[in-house]
């Protein structure tokens, strides 16, 4: 099934995909036959998306793609097909601008392969993935957290999620991605730190002062908090048991 398309309704319900992740110019690695560019109008801050597939060259190397040339890099179910996914991840981060986002989807080994490797679902799968397990039944298992830690690029982990909301745990072994809603995947969003982020050890740099109108609202939050504390001095919160 079209795994990237399945992700669109879920992503539209998460504001960060609209206001942070899919912003500017992007590269969609391994996008065919279900490319992200089909949904450019759905994400209004997305300017353009270049789809990279077999005819463009090795997705592991991205030869000919300039370093730090994209605001975001997206890949749905491609990393598991690479001979060396560590080299692939390194190059995917290479072409990403500092401050940009890498958005990954990979199949979860327990939800998708379901204890069988080589894969009974996709013979081209060279690796299986899990967020983190101390041991795995798969001889080619990769802990995604370990993979992230071992990169030499300063990163923020913005999001990592096991997409099992539509998984039917009571079914026998069955490829649930064949259904219209089954994702059986891990979604991970990484932000490539800027030099300033790295210098600040990941601490976000505060912005400037908002305009006068906005300051009145933010300061009112502070004033309300101070008034509530003053009105309840000497009495701890949630200790008033008087009848209503």
**Neighbouring C-beta atoms of residue 154, cutoff 10 Å:** 16
CATH code, 3-199? 3.40.50.150
pLDDT at 9: 96
Residue ranges of the domains in the chain?
Answer: 3-199
For the chain (244 residues), the mean pLDDT of every run of 10, in chain order, is 95 98 99 97 96 97 98 98 98 98 98 96 96 98 97 96 97 95 98 95 90 95 91 82 92
Residue 113, CA distances (Å) to 30, 44, 100, 103 in order? 20, 35, 31, 22
The b/e string for 12-42 (b: 16+ C-beta within 10 A; e otherwise) is eeeeebbeebbbeebbbbbbeebbbebbeee
pLDDT digits (tens, 9 = 90+) for 7-56: 999 999 999 999 999 999 999 999 999 999 999 999 999 999 999 999 99
Nearest 5°: phi and psi at 72? -150, 155
pLDDT at 97: 99
């Amino acid at each position: 099934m079209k795994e990237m398309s399945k992700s669109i309704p879920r992503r539209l319900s998460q504001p960060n995909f609209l206001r942070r992740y899919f912003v500017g110019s992007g590269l969609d690695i391994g996008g065919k036959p279900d490319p992200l560019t089909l949904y450019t109008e759905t994400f209004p801050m997305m300017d353009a998306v270049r789809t990279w597939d077999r005819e463009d060259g090795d997705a592991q190397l991205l030869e000919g793609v300039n370093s730090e040339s994209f605001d975001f890099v997206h890949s749905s179910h491609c990393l598991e097909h690479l001979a060396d996914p560590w080299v692939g991840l390194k190059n995917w981060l290479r072409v990403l601008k500092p401050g940009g986002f890498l958005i990954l989807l990979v199949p979860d080994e327990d939800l998708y392969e379901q204890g069988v490797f080589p894969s009974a679902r996709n013979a081209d799968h060279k690796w299986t993935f899990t967020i983190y397990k101390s041991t795995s039944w798969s001889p080619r298992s990769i802990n995604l957290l370990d993979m992230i830690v071992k990169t030499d690029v300063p990163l923020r982990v913005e999001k990592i999620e096991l997409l099992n909301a539509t998984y039917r745990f009571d079914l026998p072994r069955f490829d649930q991605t064949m259904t219209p809603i089954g994702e059986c995947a891990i979604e991970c969003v990484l932000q490539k730190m800027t030099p300033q982020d790295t210098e600040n050890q990941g601490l976000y740099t505060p912005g400037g002062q908002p305009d006068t109108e906005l300051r009145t609202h933010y300061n009112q939050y502070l004033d309300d908090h101070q008034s509530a504390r003053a009105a309840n001095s000497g009495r701890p919160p949630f200790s008033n048991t008087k009848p209503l």
